[in-house]
Structure formats: structure tokens, C-alpha cells
Amino acid sequence: PKTDIVFLKVHKSASSTVMNILFRFGETHNLTFAFPQGGGFQLYYPHHFLARFVQGFSPLSPRRFNILCHHMRFLQPEVQKVVPSSAVYFSILRNPVQLMESSFVYYKGASAFSRVRSLEEFLSQPYRYYNPASGDRHYARNLMTFDFGFNPDGDVSPGRVQLMLRAIEASFDLLLISEYFDESMVLLKEMLCWDLDSVVSFPLNIRDSSTKSALPDSVVEKLKAWNRLDWEIYTHFNRTFWERIDRAIGRERMRREVRALRERRAELARACLQGRGSVAPKDIKDSSLRPLQHGGARILGYNLKQGLDRELERTCRRLVTPELQYSSLLYKKQFPPPDP
């Protein structure tokens, strides 16, 4: 199994679920994580990543970390200073239309969104609300482009787009697609030589469907145009994703693998969870399993069954522990506080 990994955690793209997979694998195999200084949760995002943002990094010592997976704005020469040269790089993408709808609800406090009631209103005259000079502009335009390190207000000419796509291809070994999450996990498992249980997960950091709204076609077209760079990234790598499946696995085997993954997830859900799955934040009984609530979104969580044996309880708890709590737990393990 490969143990040196860089995951670019793109916002609002099922990336918290992928992070849980990496946390569990790293914990099980006693790997080291490149944590933000002081145990924070982001690597000084939205600044471009610098090696010195990582706790325990020193330019004088050749210490390398196994897994880099916290939110960052990608800058490969700096990333290479903190992970081994053999590291596998991957990320995950999401359809920019749904991504922006999610971003609008989640980052309602962002300067571009704070004065509008709806996405339609924002898109009717975006430059009335959007300021390219504001520090949080990226939440409102080409968020994936920004996370990959590029300018979200950049030139959309075919030549520039090609340069950007080639740069991403040169840096990353695999780009997953969140709309095809299970197929993505099968590809990831193959690339990392991991077993099935290592990539099984329950969806984390997902919001209650009551805050989701269907978008009219006219808005969808405006969203694609406004997020043109993200749209170019997504359509290109959605195509290469399926080409890779055809080349490396084949559709028939992929169907079998996906079925096995879903069966294992259902089996774990039956063993671990109370009720039928995710529940509203107010219904989560164990406060340590309650995810952070942000913006206008209601983030769902889980209740574990009572009376599980110790080993199963541990497995189940790890599967449903929200990102911030899990990150803190692993940070304290890697950097134990001094004895009082």
C-alpha cells in the first residue's frame, strides 16, 4: 500500500469524506500528517501554501510527512518540501453549478454573497456584488481554480485554459469526481494498492436537503459562464476520469467493484448506526460527533448504536467522527501536549 499522499482538499466537493478515509488509514498505519501550525484546521488558506505553515517543519531538517490533506491553496514547489518525492498526488472535483450553489449557502457571509437574497440575484449583476480585490472573492467564483493555485479572475482564452489543464495534469496523478464518488473510490483504491475497507466511508459534512434548491436552466447557464475556468477543469477531467476507468479497470469490473463497496458500506451502516443513517444536528446525541454548523447550511451527522463491542465501536466511531474533531485527536496524538 502507498503511504505518502498529497490530497488537495477542494472545497464543497465531498472532500471531508475523503479526508476521513485518509485520517483512518493514517491512524491505522501510524503515519505522520502535515498539520497546520498550532493544530489549526487550514494551512493558512487562502494564502498559497508554504512549507513553514506545517507544524514541525524545519528547512534545516529533512523531516518529511506521510500525508498532507488539510485545506490549502496548492503550490507544488512548497508542497514538495514537506512530503517524500514518491508521494502520490490526487484531488476531487465537483460540477461547478452544484459547487457554487453549495458555496452560496455555506459561505453566505462572504462579501460577494452577503447582500443578496439568492444566487439568481447575484448572477443578474455579479459585478455589483463581486469585488476581485476582496480577500474572500474565491468563494464566489471559480473556487476549484483558486484551490489549485490559479487566478479565479484569469483569462479564459483557449490557450490559457490549456496551460492550466496541462499544469494540473503535470502535478496530479488522479482527479476524482464527486458525482461518481464510488467509482472514484475504486480508482483510488487501485492507485494506492489499498483494500476495500480502507476506502469505505459514510458521507460527512453533507447538508440537509431542505437547504438545497433546484436551479432553473437560465441560472445554470449563467453559473457555467461565471465559473468558466472551473467548468473547463471539470469537463476535461470528467472525460479523462472515464477514459482512465476504461483503460485501467473496464466498465464491467468497475460495476462489480462499486457493488462490493456499496454492500460493505450498507453492512457497516447496519452494524454501526442507529436508525436509517444521517440525522439533523439537533438529533445527534453524542456532542463529540456533532459537525461544525456553518453559514446557512444544516450539516448532518450520525448516532452510533449503543452497546457495541470495543473493536467495532472504535471502527464505527472513526467512520462518523467529523473532520475538526478527528483532526484535533490526531494532532494531539502526533504532538502530545507536555505533561503538566
Contact by Cβ (8 Å): 45, 72: yes
Q: What is the mean pLDDT of each run of 10 residues along the chain (340 residues)?
A: 98 96 98 96 97 95 93 98 97 97 92 94 96 96 98 97 98 98 98 98 86 85 97 98 97 98 97 91 93 83 96 97 96 92
Contact by Cβ (8 Å): 143, 149: no
**Number of C-beta neighbours around residue 312 at 10 A:** 14
- CA 149-77-33 angle, 5° bins: 90
pLDDT at 338: 87
Contact by Cβ (8 Å): 219, 123: yes
- In one letter, which amino acid is 157? S
Cell representation of residue 53: 505553515
Q: How far is CA 324 from CA 40, 134, 199, 268, in A?
A: 9, 27, 20, 23
How does strand 67-68 pair with strand 5-8? parallel
pLDDT at 100: 95
Cell representation of residue 255: 460495476
Nearest-angstrom CA–CA distance, 320 and 115? 35
Taken in order of first residue, the domains within the chain and their CATH numbers are 5-334 (3.40.50)
Q: Which residues of 52-66 are buried (b: 16+ CB within 10 A; e: fewer)?
A: ebbbebeeeeeebbb
pLDDT at 61: 84
Contact by Cβ (8 Å): 144, 213: no
Residue that has been written with the C-alpha cell 471531508 in this structure: 16
pLDDT at 11: 95
Q: Which residue blocks in 74-216 are alpha helix, DSSP H?
A: 76-79, 96-106, 119-124, 126-129, 143-147, 158-171, 181-192, 196-199
H/E element holding 93?
strand 88-93
Q: Is the dihedral of CA 110, 111, 114, 120 positive or negative?
A: negative
DSSP 212: -
Q: Is 136 exposed, middle or buried (0-12, 13-18, 19+ CB in 10 A)?
A: middle
Q: How far is CA 286 from CA 36, 228, 312, in A?
A: 27, 42, 17
pLDDT at 122: 96
- Residue from 294, 170, 154 nearest 230 by CA: 154
